[in-house]
Amino acid sequence: MTSDDPVERLREAINSHDPQRIADCFTPDYRAEVPHRPSESFVGSEHVAINWEAILSRLPDIQARVLRRAEAGGELWSEWEMTGTGPGGVPTVLCGPAIMTVVREGRIAATRFYLSPVAAP
């Protein structure tokens, strides 16, 4: 069953490993900002599906967890942890916050992503 909560809906979609289901969590004119890697910023939910196809090809067993979250006005703040097995069987962890703006039928319209790989100890 899919949640009406946009953050939970996105988490469920990521864990389904279906790039189109993930893209459906976003508005067609979705804006993704990656402040610490500006060249990775983009516009459009179709680009979400393309990005997730690439992510899933490298981390086919990725699992997402939301560690913390808060809501302020029209923004949803969440801290994510994503784990999976990368090429060569290497465990991979991505962590960080995402700040989302939600509009139109519970879909995410914009996000500022700060997720980054966690260095192995």
In a domain, 41, yes or no: yes
In a domain, 1, yes or no: no
> Total structural domains in the chain?
1
- Predicted structure pTM score: 0.93
Residue 73 in domain: yes
Say if 96 falls within a structural domain: yes
pLDDT score, position 52: 97
The DSSP-derived string for 82-98 is EEEE-GGG-EEEEEEEE
Q: Is the pLDDT of residue 2 over 70?
A: no
Judge whether 98 lies within some domain.
yes
Domain that holds residue 98: 6-117
pLDDT digits (tens, 9 = 90+) for 66-109: 999 999 888 999 999 999 999 999 999 999 999 999 877 889 99
- CATH at 77: 3.10.450.50
Residue whose token pair is 């097995």: 85
